[in-house]
Structure 1
């Protein structure tokens, strides 16, 4: 019964029936602003509903008299749920051989975020919920800034080399051309993988001289939090708590000061423009020529900048490349680059995660009028 009530609440904000998806209700987002959940968050919410179903049927909660969905978020029940979740006892599937049963920190953070959303759906507006804490993982080491030039030169050589194949991984000419263009954009604009995957042809200016990124502003850049803090005369940590959806951590008076300061500042731009270096322009033109051949036989996928090279579950070559495919392509490319450059003087093995490369880069947007937008 309580899990059924919880599922009904989740259904309203993350309906499983895609025919009614556009009519889904919003949830409270950063700063209390109403937002609609993404497809990824919807899948995560349903994952946690399944975890609750397994939790209430577990030995530790089976005898409890839990009469409503709101009661699931009582302190004693939530503590049991979290203990079981941390230990991996609420997994839908057993982990593969050699993998730990306990949930990794990244997954626990997702579960905690979903619990916060769910509590807001079923608890009274004035009902405080003490969510479990999750340690902030140390960020992985970034690429040293002085090595970035070597990365670019190595990828240029890689793009011009013959087909590469080793240990079951192969990079075609098309793969190498797309990889070089992708990494060049990362080096010039430092997009996140989701922002890079979302690029469309219209996000490039004439001559590929600049690229426009739609930054994910839900957590706001650090300088924005500091600007608000200075204007409101509060600590930046209080501002971040409000911007990141943890309003309960500050008093009402502090929240009102933050809200007023935020409203007074100029809004963040919807699109940020970044100038592209001549080498990036050339890499993009080469990729656009390859892309044109790929999309020519099909009707869909014509607006996406990055498209698939081979048939996938999504369709034939030339359809939009999803973020997961993009990160996989980057990992293959960095693995191949490490093969080619291994043993060369001054070379350091590159990470296969795009985030570690992105965080090593400092970029500044240019005014829209400079690029003619």
Structure 2
């Protein structure tokens, strides 16, 4: 959206500031900054915002304007799509918005002027799972994969579903990918003989990884390092910035794909899924859609079975499998129901990538 398309001077000025940042920040960050400008465009003029927030970009970064802006954004009232209005923004998106506000304030406000930014609540993470429970999860899924039809409370877990969820659990335990990273996996992320699996880390994850390394080298706080690497450390001394950037440049590039060894049982589980998967992708008309490692089992509005599975579908498939396992094991002595969210399992495992990609 160009500055002329905004109705108020303040947002037009802010948009021009973002235009001038092109080339100095990544394309991904530019998209995020434009998203925040669009959100201001939808906020300014509402009853909650002070009238003077329409005058200049500097007025957008007063607490009188930022407080109602943040409340509206967090409540989902500034979303782009009308159908999504009122859906609260997730913490991850709010973190992006706050980071962008910090970057924009440094460009808009006079040098040395401080800005009060909204506080972001730290989410309470769900409890992790102990090693014995993780072993029970894998053994239980192996047993579940060989059982007869499972139907309960209107939910059916087919043989194909069980083969897929067992392979998913195996990869989750051995490589600890996020659901989005798992959804992005293709056959290219399987080493020959299924001895290892690759995880293509998202840019945010790579940034976190690099910041942690540089913080360890320099002795600085990881947040300070993250801000400088993101171009936000304007209130830090030149010596500190130089120290961080020199340490970062001395490190080798963060690998786009990290490889993790698969245990023998995991290899068997993945091979069984590949057999099931092949029969599914043969139904897909376009060969370009047949490369995803994780695919759908039944036709849907998106198309036939065998299409690439999205992160939400992965999470739902995992939840169905663990729910079925909890059904089956409910009467067993000492059994404690396992969490049905992939994230709790992912944070429960400690995985170490291979030093070199598999040959």
If the TM-score is normalised by the length of the shorter chain, which range does it land in? 0.7 to 0.9
1:115 CA drift (Å): 4.0
Secondary structure, aligned partner of 1:273:
strand
Matches within 5 A, 1:1-373: 1-2=7-8, 5=12, 28=25, 34-36=26-28, 46=35, 51-61=39-49, 63-64=51-52, 66-69=54-57, 71-86=59-74, 105=91, 108-113=94-99, 115-116=101-102, 123=108, 130-220=116-206, 224-243=210-229, 246-248=232-234, 250-298=236-284, 299=286, 300-368=288-356, 371-372=358-359
Q: Distance in 2 between matches of 1:84 and 1:221?
A: 29
Q: Distance in 1 between matches of 2:252 and 2:167?
A: 33
1:7 CA drift (Å): 9.7
TM-score, normalisation: structure 1: 0.78
1:117 CA drift (Å): 6.6
Q: Distance in 2 between matches of 1:338 and 1:330?
A: 12
1:233 CA drift (Å): 4.4
Q: What residue ranges of structure 2 are gaps of 5+ in the alignment?
A: 1-6
TM-score, normalisation: structure 2: 0.81
Q: Distance in 2 between matches of 1:104 and 1:194?
A: 15
Q: In the alignment, which residue of structure 2 is the partner of 1:21? A: none
1:179 CA drift (Å): 0.5
Assess if the C-alpha contact under 8 Å between 1:219 and 1:243 holds in 2.
no
Q: Distance in 2 between matches of 1:167 and 1:45?
A: 46
Q: Distance in 2 between matches of 1:142 and 1:208?
A: 28
1:152 CA drift (Å): 0.3
- Paired residues, number: 346
1:171–1:8 Cα change, 3 Å: farther
1:361 CA drift (Å): 0.6
Deviation per residue, 1:245-300 (Å, 9 max, x gap): 64246333211110001111222223222111111111111111111111112224
Assess if the C-alpha contact under 8 Å between 1:27 and 1:117 holds in 2.
no
Q: Distance in 2 between matches of 1:119 and 1:4?
A: 13
